[in-house]
C-alpha cells in the first residue's frame, strides 16, 4: 500500500512537472510570438575605430556577446564595411533602443521600403560610331557599371561577351549561384551578379509582404524586367534586328556598349526594395571594384529624410568618396513642384525627357474627328473601318469605374465596346486587363489635368491607346452629347524624327530641392520616354502576372530609364578620362548640357507646353557630343561635402554617419550655396521686402587641351527683378595655374508674392571661343520656418 502511495505521489509529481513545463513552453512561445510580432529591422551605424583588438573583424565583434552587452548574440542580417560601417538586424524596439545607447553606435534608423522609378537614344545623345566620345573612350571598354535593381536576365543578346577582352584584373566580384542562375551565366560582359534579400525576409517575418517564391527567383535572375532593362540601357551590346513586337525596330545598344556590367539584385517583384538590402548592394559593389553605380530607386513614402537617415545618400557618399560615380533617378511624381527625389549633392540626379521617336495611334470618332494618342499594342487590331460603341463608365459608375479599377465595370455596360478609362490609382496596363475581362473590345486611356498632355506607350493586352487631357475631355464631351457615340483606334507603328524633342516628360520629378534648396535638383535630364531595351522572359511586356507574352526587348518610360543613360555616359567619360573624379564627370555633363531641342528652340515642358526652367531640367539635356571636352570643370572632394553638411547645421555624429570620419565644423557656419556645384541656387527670405543680395563663390579647373586659356563671363537673365554680376569677369589659366575662383553676386528685387512665385533664373557661361561652360542660376524666396 505504501509502495502504491509512493508511486502515486511520484506520478502526480511527474504530471505536475509536465504541466508546468508545458505551461512554461506555452508562455515562452507566446512571448516569442509577441516579440516576433513587434520586431523591426534596424540599421546600426557603428564607429569602426571602437572595435576591440581582440576581434579579428567587425563581423566577429558585432556577433559577440561583448557587443550585445552580455545578452543573446544579435541576429545579424547584413554587415557593412565598405561604404558604411555597421550592420542591420531584426530586433524588438526595446533592444534596438538599448543598443542605440552602446558607446560605439553613432546612429540607428529603421529599414524603409523603396520603389523602382519605373535603341535610338544613344544617337539622340550625340553619340556617333567611330567618332567623338564613343571612339575616344573605346565604347567604355573595361569600365565596370554596377546596377542596383531587380537583377538580370543574362541570356539576352545585350549581355553577349563576343569580341570583348578579358575581365579587368582589378575586378573582385563574384557570380553568385542560385535558383535558375548557375555561375556559367556570367561572362566577360556580365562580370558579376549578386542578390540581397535578407532585409525582405526579415521584414516579411514581422508582417511585411515578403518575396513571392512562385513568381520570383532567390538568385540574381530578374523576374521583374526592370533591372534587365536598365542594365542594357547603360551598357548593352549591339543587338541587330531588335524591336518590341515590331515597334522601334533597329539596332539596340546601350550608351557604353563595351563597358562591363555587374548586377546587384536589391529589389524584388511585387516586394519593392528595402534600405538594408540597398545599402548591402552599395557596400558590396564598391568592394567588388565597380567604377559606376546606377540606382533607379527612390523613396517610397514621399518624405525626404535627412541625408544621415537616408541609406541611398549614405551608400552613395561612401561610393563617391572612393571614386565611384553614382547616378540616380529623379522620381516620377512630376510635374508637381518639390517632387524630385535623391537630393544629395554627391549623387547625380537624372530627370526624364522625350526622344525624337514615338508610337502614334489615332482615335477616330463617329463624327469624323481624329484625336492623337500613342500605343505600342501589337496584337490583333480592331476591324478596319469598323466603328464600335464607345462608353465612359465613370459617368454613372462612380470614381472606381472611371478609373477602371478591378471589379468596377459592369459587363452589360461595356461588352463589345471601347471603354474610356481615366489614368491614375492603378497601373495603366492593368486597366486594360479589367476592361478585357469585363468583355470590352478596346480601351482609351485619358489623362487627367495633372498628367496634362504627357503620353507614354504601353504594350496593352487589348486594342488600346493613351490620349492627353484635352483629347480626353473632348472624347468625354462627345460621348455625353452624341446619341450613339462610336469610335475606332488606328495604330500607326513607329515614327522617327519627331519635333520637338527633347521635351521634359510631365512625370519627371521637379525641383526645388525640398531638403536643401541651395542645391539645384534634378541635375540634368536624359532620354526616359519610350525607351527600347532588353527584357526578362519571366513576365510579359506589361509586367502583369496575367500577361503570358514573351519578348526579348520592351519599351518603358520613367526616370528609371533616364538614369542608366547617365550611368553609361559616366562610363564613357571615365574611360576617356580615368583621372576625373565623380564630381568632374558630373560637371562635364552638366555644363555642356543642351537647352534647345531639335528645332533649335528652348526645350519645352510637356505639362505646360511652355519653356522649361532649371527646376524642370536642371542644367539641361545630356549632350555627349560636347561632354568629353568641357573645357572647365567644377570639382569637389570630401572636405567640400563636409563643409556643406556643416552648413546645414548637422552635428559631428550626424556627419560621421555619412562620411565615416569624425568631422569638426568651423565656428562660423559655411554657406550652403558655396558648395562648388556646377549649378547655383540662391535662397532669399520670402518675408523680406525690397532688394536682397547674396554672393556665391565657385572654383573652376581647366581640363582643356590648352594649358593657357582665357575665359570670359557672359550672364543671361530670364525675366525681371534679377541682376547677376561676376567678379572677375575674366579667368586666365596657364601651365602653372589650373584653378581659378570667382564670385557671383545675385540681387533680387520685390517679394515672393509675385505671379511667378518669387522664382527667377538665369545662366552664367564661361567661354574661351571654343568651349562654353554654362551654369544655371536659380533664385528662390522661401518663407522662414
pLDDT value for 129: 53
Q: How much is the average pLDDT of 284-313?
A: 89
pLDDT value for 194: 98
pLDDT value for 752: 45
521-530 residue pLDDT tens: 999 999 999 9
**Coil, strand or helix: which one is 374?**
strand
- Report yes or no: 277 and 285 within 8 Å, Cβ to Cβ: no
Per-residue pLDDT band for 660 (boundaries 50, 70, 90) equals: confident
30 or 452, higher pLDDT: 452
456-509 residue pLDDT tens: 889 999 999 999 999 999 999 999 999 999 999 999 999 999 999 999 999 999
Instruction: Report which of 350, 69, 341, 333 is spatially closest to residue 233, judged by C-alpha positions.
Output: 350
390-402 residue pLDDT tens: 999 987 778 889 9
pLDDT value for 138: 66
Instruction: Report which of 158, 20, 47 is spatially closest to residue 653, judged by C-alpha positions.
Output: 47
Instruction: Report which of 112, 94, 87 is spatially closest to residue 39, judged by C-alpha positions.
Output: 94
Does the pLDDT at position 300 exceed 80? no
Pairwise CA distance, residues 275 & 87, whole Å = 12
Q: Any idea how long the chain is?
A: 785
591-650 residue pLDDT tens: 999 999 999 999 999 988 999 999 999 999 999 889 999 999 999 999 999 999 999 999
Q: How much is the average pLDDT of 643-662?
A: 93
pLDDT value for 366: 94
Per-residue pLDDT band for 207 (boundaries 50, 70, 90) equals: low
Long-range contacts of 382-387 (CB under 8 A, 24+ apart): 382/441, 382/442, 382/463, 382/488, 382/489, 385/488, 386/488, 387/486, 387/487, 387/488
pLDDT value for 19: 40
Instruction: Report which of 148, 234, 776 is spatially closest to residue 511, judged by C-alpha positions.
Output: 776
pLDDT value for 518: 96
* Terminal Cα-to-Cα distance of the chain (whole angstroms): 89
531-558 residue pLDDT tens: 999 999 999 998 888 888 999 999 999 9
574-604 residue pLDDT tens: 999 999 999 999 999 999 999 999 999 999 9
99-108 residue pLDDT tens: 999 999 999 9
Q: How much is the average pLDDT of 102-117?
A: 90
pLDDT value for 21: 44
732-783 residue pLDDT tens: 999 999 999 999 999 988 654 443 445 689 999 999 999 999 999 999 888 6
Q: How much is the average pLDDT of 287-303?
A: 86
Q: Which CATH architecture has domain 38-110?
A: 2-Layer Sandwich (3.30)
Q: Label the pairing between strands 144-149 and 292-295.
A: parallel
Q: Express as a percent the part of the chain with pLDDT over 90.
A: 73
Instruction: Report which of 557, 550, 378 is spatially closest to residue 463, judged by C-alpha positions.
Output: 378
What would the DSSP string read from start to end of 634-660?
Answer: ----HHHHHHHHHHTT--HHHHHHHHS
The two domains 38-110 and 360-493 share their CATH topology (first three levels equal): no
Annotated active-site residue 226? The verdict is yes
Given the residues 47, 111, 142, 149, select the one marked as catalytic. 149
pLDDT value for 33: 41
pLDDT value for 209: 66
Annotated active-site residue 149? The verdict is yes
Pairwise CA distance, residues 148 & 263, whole Å = 6
Q: Which three cell numbers stand for residue 127?
A: 553619340
Q: Which CATH architecture has domain 360-493?
A: 3-Layer(bba) Sandwich (3.50)
Instruction: Report which of 703, 660, 675 is spatially closest to residue 321, judged by C-alpha positions.
Output: 660
Averaged pLDDT of the chain: 89
Instruction: Report which of 364, 286, 284, 295 is spatially closest to residue 326, judged by C-alpha positions.
Output: 295
pLDDT value for 208: 62
pLDDT value for 133: 61
CATH topology of domain 114-356+501-627: Rossmann fold (3.40.50)
Q: Express as a percent the part of the chain with pLDDT over 70.
A: 89
**Coil, strand or helix: which one is 774?**
strand
Q: CA angle, corner 497, sides to 432 and 542, nearest 5?
A: 20
Helices (H) and strands (E) in the chain, counts: 19, 39
- What predicted TM-score, i.e. pTM, was given to this entire model? 0.90
Given the residues 160, 557, 560, 567, select the one marked as catalytic. 560
Q: How much is the average pLDDT of 71-82?
A: 91
Please tell me the least confidently modeled range out of 204-213, 302-311, 689-698. 204-213
Does the pLDDT at position 686 exceed 70? yes
pLDDT value for 87: 96
542 or 196, higher pLDDT: 196
**DSSP code of 236?**
P
49-65 residue pLDDT tens: 999 999 999 999 999 98
Q: Which three cell numbers stand for residue 358?
A: 514615338
666-677 residue pLDDT tens: 999 999 999 999
Pairwise CA distance, residues 475 & 463, whole Å = 17
Annotated active-site residue 565? The verdict is no
407-422 residue pLDDT tens: 899 999 999 999 999 9
For the chain, domain boundaries: 38-110, 114-356+501-627, 360-493, 676-782
Domain 676-782 sits in CATH at 2.60.40.2310
| H or E element at residue 413 | helix 411-414
Amino acid at each position: 500500500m505504501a509502495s502504491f502511495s509512493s508511486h502515486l505521489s511520484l506520478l502526480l509529481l511527474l504530471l505536475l512537472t509536465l504541466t508546468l513545463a508545458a505551461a512554461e513552453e506555452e508562455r515562452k512561445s507566446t512571448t516569442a510570438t509577441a516579440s516576433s510580432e513587434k520586431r523591426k529591422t534596424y540599421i546600426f551605424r557603428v564607429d569602426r575605430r571602437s572595435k576591440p583588438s581582440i576581434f579579428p573583424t567587425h563581423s566577429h565583434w558585432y556577433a559577440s556577446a561583448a557587443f550585445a552587452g552580455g545578452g543573446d548574440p544579435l541576429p545579424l542580417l547584413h554587415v557593412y564595411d565598405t561604404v558604411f560601417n555597421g550592420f542591420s538586424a531584426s530586433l524588438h524596439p526595446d533592444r534596438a533602443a538599448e543598443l542605440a545607447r552602446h558607446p560605439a553606435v553613432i546612429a540607428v534608423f529603421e529599414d524603409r521600403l523603396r520603389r523602382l522609378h519605373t535603341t535610338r537614344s544613344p544617337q539622340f545623345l550625340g553619340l556617333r560610331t567611330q567618332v567623338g566620345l564613343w571612339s575616344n573612350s573605346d565604347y567604355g571598354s573595361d569600365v565596370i557599371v554596377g546596377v542596383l535593381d531587380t537583377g538580370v536576365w543574362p541570356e539576352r543578346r545585350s549581355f553577349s561577351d563576343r569580341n570583348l577582352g578579358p575581365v579587368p584584373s582589378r575586378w573582385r566580384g563574384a557570380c553568385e549561384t542560385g535558383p535558375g542562375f548557375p555561375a556559367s551565366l556570367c561572362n566577360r560582359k556580365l562580370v558579376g551578379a549578386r542578390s540581397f534579400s535578407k532585409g525582405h525576409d526579415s521584414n516579411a517575418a514581422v508582417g511585411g509582404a515578403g518575396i513571392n517564391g512562385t513568381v520570383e527567383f532567390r538568385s540574381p535572375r530578374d523576374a521583374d524586367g526592370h533591372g534587365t532593362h536598365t542594365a542594357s540601357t547603360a551598357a548593352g551590346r549591339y543587338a541587330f534586328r531588335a524591336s518590341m513586337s515590331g515597334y522601334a525596330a533597329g539596332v539596340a545598344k546601350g550608351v557604353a556598349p563595351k563597358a562591363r556590367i555587374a548586377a546587384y539584385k536589391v529589389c524584388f517583384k511585387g516586394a519593392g526594395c528595402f534600405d538594408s538590402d540597398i545599402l548591402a548592394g552599395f557596400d558590396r559593389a564598391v568592394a567588388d571594384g565597380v567604377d559606376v553605380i546606377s540606382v533607379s530607386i527612390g523613396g517610397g513614402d514621399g518624405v525626404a529624410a535627412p541625408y544621415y537617415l537616408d541609406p541611398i545618400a549614405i551608400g552613395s557618399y561612401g561610393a563617391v568618396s572612393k571614386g565611384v560615380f553614382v547616378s540616380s533617378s529623379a522620381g516620377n511624381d512630376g510635374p508637381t513642384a518639390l517632387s524630385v527625389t535623391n537630393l544629395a549633392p554627391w549623387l547625380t540626379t537624372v530627370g526624364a525627357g522625350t526622344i525624337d521617336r514615338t508610337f502614334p495611334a489615332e482615335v477616330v470618332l463617329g463624327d469624323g474627328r481624329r484625336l492623337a494618342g500613342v500605343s505600342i499594342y501589337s496584337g490583333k487590331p480592331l476591324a478596319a473601318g469598323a466603328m464600335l460603341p464607345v462608353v465612359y463608365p465613370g459617368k454613372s459608375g462612380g470614381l472606381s469605374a472611371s478609373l477602371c479599377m478591378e471589379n468596377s465595370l459592369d459587363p452589360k455596360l461595356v461588352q463589345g465596346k471601347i471603354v474610356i478609362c481615366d489614368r491614375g490609382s492603378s497601373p495603366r496596363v492593368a486597366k486594360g486587363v479589367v476592361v478585357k475581362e469585363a468583355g470590352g473590345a478596346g480601351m482609351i486611356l485619358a489623362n487627367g489635368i495633372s498628367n496634362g498632355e504627357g503620353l507614354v506607350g504601353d504594350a496593352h493586352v487589348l486594342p488600346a491607346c493613351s490620349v492627353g487631357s484635352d483629347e480626353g475631355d473632348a472624347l468625354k464631351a462627345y460621348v455625353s452629347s452624341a446619341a450613339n457615340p462610336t469610335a475606332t483606334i488606328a495604330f500607326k507603328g513607329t515614327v522617327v524624327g519627331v519635333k520637338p524633342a527633347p521635351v521634359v516628360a510631365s512625370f519627371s520629378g521637379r525641383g526645388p530641392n525640398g531638403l536643401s534648396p541651395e542645391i539645384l535638383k534634378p541635375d540634368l535630364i536624359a532620354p526616359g520616354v519610350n525607351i527600347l531595351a532588353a527584357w526578362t522572359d519571366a513576365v510579359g511586356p506589361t509586367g502583369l502576372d496575367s500577361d503570358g507574352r514573351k519578348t526579348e526587348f520592351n519599351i518603358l518610360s520613367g526616370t528609371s530609364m533616364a538614369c542608366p543613360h547617365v550611368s553609361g555616359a559616366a562610363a564613357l567619360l571615365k574611360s576617356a578620362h580615368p583621372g576625373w573624379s565623380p564630381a568632374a564627370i558630373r560637371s562635364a555633363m552638366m555644363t555642356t548640357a543642351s537647352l534647345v531641342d531639335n528645332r533649335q528652340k528652348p526645350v519645352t515642358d510637356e505639362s505646360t507646353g511652355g519653356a522649361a526652367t532649371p527646376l524642370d531640367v536642371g542644367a539641361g539635356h545630356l549632350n555627349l557630343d560636347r561632354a568629353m571636352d568641357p573645357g572647365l570643370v567644377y570639382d569637389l572632394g570630401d572636405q567640400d561635402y563636409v563643409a556643406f553638411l556643416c552648413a546645414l547645421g548637422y552635428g559631428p555624429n550626424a556627419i560621421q554617419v555619412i562620411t565615416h570620419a569624425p568631422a569638426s565644423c568651423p565656428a562660423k557656419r559655411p554657406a550652403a550655396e558655396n558648395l562648388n556645384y556646377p549649378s547655383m541656387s540662391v535662397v532669399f527670405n520670402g518675408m523680406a521686402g525690397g532688394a536682397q543680395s547674396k554672393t556665391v563663390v565657385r572654383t573652376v579647373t581647366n581640363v582643356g587641351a590648352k594649358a593657357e586659356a582665357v575665359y570670359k563671363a557672359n550672364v543671361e537673365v530670364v525675366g525681371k527683378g534679377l541682376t547677376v554680376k561676376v567678379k572677375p569677369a575674366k579667368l586666365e589659366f596657364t601651365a602653372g595655374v589650373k584653378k581659378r575662383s570667382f564670385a557671383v553676386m545675385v540681387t533680387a528685387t520685390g517679394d515672393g508674392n509675385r505671379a511667378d512665385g518669387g522664382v527667377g533664373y538665369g545662366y552664367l557661361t564661361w567661354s574661351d571661343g571654343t568651349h562654353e561652360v554654362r551654369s544655371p542660376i536659380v533664385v528662390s524666396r522661401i518663407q522662414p520656418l
